[in-house]
Amino acid sequence: MNILIHYYRLGHYIGGAEVVALNQCSEILRQGHNVTILTADTGHHSKIFDEFLENNPKIKLVELPLEQIHKTGDTWIDIDLESLQFGRYAAEHFYKDNTEQYDLVVIHNKTDALFVPSRYKTVIHLHGTPTKFDHLMELALYNASGLLAVSESVKDGWQQNVKSIRKEISVIHNGIDTSIFRNTNQNRDIDVLFVGRLYPHKGIIELLQATKQLNLKLVVVGAGPLEEELAKHNHVTHLKNLETEKLVEIYNRAKIFACPSSAKEGVLTTMLEAAICGCAIITADCAGMVDFAKHMDNTILVPPSDPSSLAQAISLLINNDELRNKLAKKAQNDATSQWNIENQTNKLLAFYKEISCK
């Protein structure tokens, strides 16, 4: 197949959707397909994008200058405005002049879809469920050839709130590269680890409260609006924008990986990465996490936005090595066997081919 990935912030932003898109792209390239990335040139690349380019020399990269973007957006309004600017000032000209035939245009940020001409077949990936729905979302999805959600809860959220969706939403879960993320059986000297964007809905405030109550050290990997809040807490070690090799090392040093997001999420990529690396997982009983997480089988599930329950779960695992190791082993086995990148990308490619042939 000849695939175009239209994603304005893929080259410069680090978030779950960007990681998923690059992981899928790497596996699609490995399987012999052609991929072109259309993204904004903001003057710098993220570390994960530079790693991706180094590891995938066959990728075709189209970076279009976009002076109108002065910063990386941290709100959905910022993201939509930046996507609209990229579409109007850059992507429209690309499509007008383009002569290459693509079997499919793949979209990971819904607003980007507004600028793909109708002559192309498109698949839109839905990576989460917005807290508010608006007409822009309906317009973005209206002409899609195919819709893909990363979890059943994300699918349900869109179907319930965007009544104009005319096509079935399929579900294909994310996959993790088990040749990169693996359990190296290191000494686990980190009590609690969090990896992700620093937004309130990620549960980071509740995690700060829970670990402070228990007098435990917390390692946080990520960037975002709550960085100043982290700096107020002496029990927190904050790391930003780690290269993949270093991130794997941090996962392998952690006893517990906590990802108590309260809304929006699909199946968190970081949760799956941590599971494969042998961490015991604590996550919230909501959104897409439950597609993977089974309480007291491969994880501990806690109510969202509940620091007291989160503290109890952390205390239980810190003080019970047998239970912690049991849950960690089951999570590792489940993630490795059911959520590996090759299996999930094979499902993805089959879906792409089905859409492109309609």
Task: Determine the pLDDT at residue 157.
Answer: 86
Task: Determine the pLDDT at residue 262.
Answer: 85
pLDDT tens-digit series, residues 230-256: 999 999 999 988 889 999 999 999 999
Identify the residue whose tokens are 């960007």.
Answer: 18
Task: Determine the pLDDT at residue 138.
Answer: 86
The number of residues making up the chain comes to: 358
What is residue 44's three-state secondary structure? coil
> What confidence category does residue 164 fall into, taking pLDDT thresholds of 50, 70 and 90?
confident
- Checking if the pLDDT of 68 tops 60, the result is no
> What confidence category does residue 264 fall into, taking pLDDT thresholds of 50, 70 and 90?
low
Residue of 271, 282, 274 whose CA lies nearest to 317: 282
- Checking if the pLDDT of 304 tops 80, the result is yes
- Checking if the pLDDT of 74 tops 70, the result is no
Which of residues 201 and 326 earns the better pLDDT score?
326
Domain boundaries, the chain: 2-175+341-356, 190-338
137 within 8 A of 114, measured Cβ to Cβ: no
What is residue 174's three-state secondary structure? coil
Question: What CATH class is the domain 190-338?
Answer: alpha beta
Task: Determine the pLDDT at residue 166.
Answer: 75
User: Is pTM, for the whole model, over 0.85?
Assistant: yes
pLDDT tens-digit series, residues 312-356: 999 999 999 999 999 999 999 999 998 999 999 999 999 999 999
Percent of the chain with pLDDT over 70: 97
Phi/psi-derived region of residue 214, left when phi > 0, alpha when psi is between -120 and 50, beta in every other case: alpha
Q: Beta-strand (E) ranges in the chain?
A: 2-6, 34-41, 60-65, 104-107, 122-126, 146-149, 169-171, 190-195, 218-221, 236-239, 254-259, 280-284, 300-302
Is 75 exposed, middle or buried, given 0-12, 13-18 or 19+ CB atoms closer than 10 A?
Answer: exposed
Percent of the chain with pLDDT over 90: 74
Distance CA 64, CA 344 (A): 30
Q: Tokens representing 131?
A: 């807290």
- Checking if the pLDDT of 218 tops 70, the result is yes
CATH superfamily of 2-175+341-356: Glycogen Phosphorylase B; (3.40.50.2000)
Q: Tokens representing 104?
A: 């499919």
Task: Determine the pLDDT at residue 73.
Answer: 56
- Checking if the pLDDT of 163 tops 90, the result is no
Phi/psi-derived region of residue 55, left when phi > 0, alpha when psi is between -120 and 50, beta in every other case: alpha
Task: Determine the pLDDT at residue 55.
Answer: 95
Please state the rounded mean pLDDT for residues 66-84.
Answer: 71
Please state the rounded mean pLDDT for residues 256-270.
Answer: 87
Task: Determine the pLDDT at residue 136.
Answer: 84
Same fold, 2-175+341-356 and 190-338: yes
DSSP 102-133: -SEEEESSGGGGGGS-TTS-EEEEE-B--SS-
Question: How much is the CA Rg of the chain, to the nearest whole Å?
Answer: 20
- What mean pLDDT is reported for the chain? 92
> What confidence category does residue 33 fall into, taking pLDDT thresholds of 50, 70 and 90?
very high
Is 321 exposed, middle or buried, given 0-12, 13-18 or 19+ CB atoms closer than 10 A?
Answer: exposed
Phi/psi-derived region of residue 131, left when phi > 0, alpha when psi is between -120 and 50, beta in every other case: alpha
